[in-house]
Every structure is written in C-alpha cells, then in structure tokens.
Chain A
Amino acid sequence: MENNELLKRQVEELASRVNGEVEESFGVLVLTVKAPYITETLTAAKQFAEVPCDFLHDLCGLDRVEHFEVVYQLSSLRGPQKLRVKALLNRENPVVDSVTRIWQGANYLEREAYDMFGIIFKGHPNLKRIYMWDDFEGYPLRKDYVTEPIEVRNIVRQRIEGE
C-alpha cells in the first residue's frame, strides 16, 4: 500500500511536469501524455525513487479513430509497481520518438506497431515491416483499413528480382 502511495505521488509529480493526465483503471495507474513528451516521461519513470518502473512489458499501437495511441506497459522485476503510459499521436502525422535507446527490447515491438498502424518511431535503428512483406500496402490494424475481397487476395504476388 505504501508502495502504491509512493508511486502515485511520483506519477502525479511527473504528470504536472509533462502536461499529462493520471487516471486509475483496474488498479493500474495510467499516465497519458502528448507524443513529444514520451522520452522524458519514460526516462523519468525508469528512474523513480524506490519504485522504478524499469521493465518494459509491452508496447503496442491503438487506434482510437480520432487519434492513435502508443501504449507502454511498465513494471519492475523487483517490486509490485505497475504503470501504463500512453502517448497520444496525431492521426495525420503519427510520429513518436523511439524508446529503443531506453529499452533495447522495444525494437521488434516498435517495428510491429509500425507494420500494423504506420506509426513512425523516430530514431529506430531498423524501422521495417516485420510481419507483412515489404511492399505490402496499408496498415492492417487501423480501423479504416479495408479488408480486400477474396478475388484480389488470390492474385499471386510477383517476386521482385533479387528477393
């Protein structure tokens, strides 16, 4: 319980510094910030005194129709603290800083979010599609993605020379 209070205080302090909003959902603190503040937020969260949220569990994109979100699930291997950080992204220009410098493990996760949502992670070492093939068009998990009819899908894709 004390642990929780400590985390809550520090998250609220951080939120006022980065113009974020804090809410609670199913016992987990959720901190929502604008995309430009994400590096600052996550660096600070990693270095919270006594309750560091230093382990990145998951990173995923989320389509909210009006905007995109990138959701980071943080916790620690040495304590019960949990924190969810959300970055709000503009739909027309979804760009956010890559966190691969903070956690190397974000590498594939960011590539997946790029593949599925078209979110550009600035500073990523190798931002390429990971599941779909390289010349695939569109971003499948966006809400406005049209699933193509079976006739179109059955056309065998031409191989590019040297592939």
Chain B
Amino acid sequence: MNILEVTGLTKKFGGLYANTNINMNIEKNSITAVIGPNGAGKTTFFNMITAVYKPTSGDILLNGKSLVGLKPHQVTKFGIARTFQNIRLFHDLTVLDNVLVGMHHHLKSSWVGALFQMPRTRHAEENAKKEAYRLLEYVGLAELLNESAGNLSYGAQRRLEIARAIAAKPKVLLLDEPAAGMNPKETKKLTDLIHDMRTKLDITIVLIEHDMKLVMEISDFIYVLDHGEEIASGKPDDIRNNPRVIEAYLGKGAVANG
C-alpha cells in the first residue's frame, strides 16, 4: 500500500525548473532514498511536500488526501515531519524543550489551561515531558536534556532534529542529509536508528543522502534526480548498475571508460 504518492510534481522559480514532473509512490513502512548530485532539486522536492514551497503543478497525496495548498503546520498535523539539511534547531531552547516543541500539534495544553493550572493541562504537560525524555533516551541524548540545543555537537544536533521530528508522531519522516558531517561511527549509529524507527515506530522514511554506502545499505527503493528530473528509480542493485545514474554522478566519459 502506498502511503505517499506524488504525481507530476513541478516547481518553477522564475524561468528555472527546479523540479520537473516528479512521480513517486512510496510504500508504507518503507525506507526510500532520494539521491542525485548537488543542485538536482532534492531539497526543493522536500520543501514542496512540507508546503514550504507551493508546487507549480502536480499533486501530493498522503493516504489518498491531497496536501497541496496546506500550510506547513497543517502538513505536520497530517502526519509528515522533517529534518533540515542545514540544521534548524531552536538554539536558545534546551534539548528537552526542542522535543516538546515537536509535540506542538498533538499536545493538549491550551494557554488558558496553563494560566489557571487546570489539572488536564498539567497532566498533559507532565506526560509530554516524560515522553520527551524517553525520546531523548531513544536517540541517545538523555544526559544532555538541560543543555541549550545550540551547544550540542554536530552529530548530536542531527539526532536531536530526528527526536524532535518523531515527537510530532509522523506517519512519514523526511530526513534531509541526516549523515552529513558525521564520522563513520556516528553514521553507523544513525543507520541503526533509522532501521529502528521503521520497525519499532512504524514510520515510513524518505531520506536525501549523499553517503552511498548508507543509502545502498538502508533503502528499499531509490529515486534518482538530476537537474530537477527523475532519471531513474528502482531497488538499490538496479540503481548501482544504472548507466544513467553513473553518468549523472560522474559525467559522460565515465560510462564509456568503465
């Protein structure tokens, strides 16, 4: 069953096509990678799904319902959460507060309730904090809960972004270059985490990644973009040997020579 379907998605900036006629069917509970050289339009694609950009044409369906025309926060409510290529944490907030913000749309805690300390609100807040703490344990950041997010190391910031995103209880999680800047050890931990989220949290994962080892190891299915167009799709083995993909990455001569 497809949880996310993208049909004919196109984005034009001025006269420039950033994405042209992208079609994707993403199966529920799968891990899908979107790869391609720099400037291929991968992040633009994510931005359209999360309603940061409005598509020029085409449709995005989550469980059969169109997301086009929604506001970014509504998309989150529908069940899509994301991380960012250039980490976007709330730097001045603590690690735990960052995760709590992720719970915004499902946390039943109105400001009126907070003002009068209504039992319902207090209860919801207390539980949310415990849940947030467990999420931090899950991604391995529990000890740093009171630290300012801006003070974390690069790898920890990336994991915090993931914890914050899954706090939103997404059905689909979009990871934008989660392994960028990580050392092999951290990447290994990340790989395990992604696997775990799929199996234990039942989240469908779509990731943009340049680390081919990670992509080949983890993905069920891969889409390749180049110059905003989809040039190939298939299982990791198919993609590995696809001449068009190799050409896109290494240039024209590479295919002839090797």
Decide whether A and B assemble into one complex: no
Residues in A lying within 8 Å of B, measured CB to CB = none
Residues in B lying within 8 Å of A, measured CB to CB = none
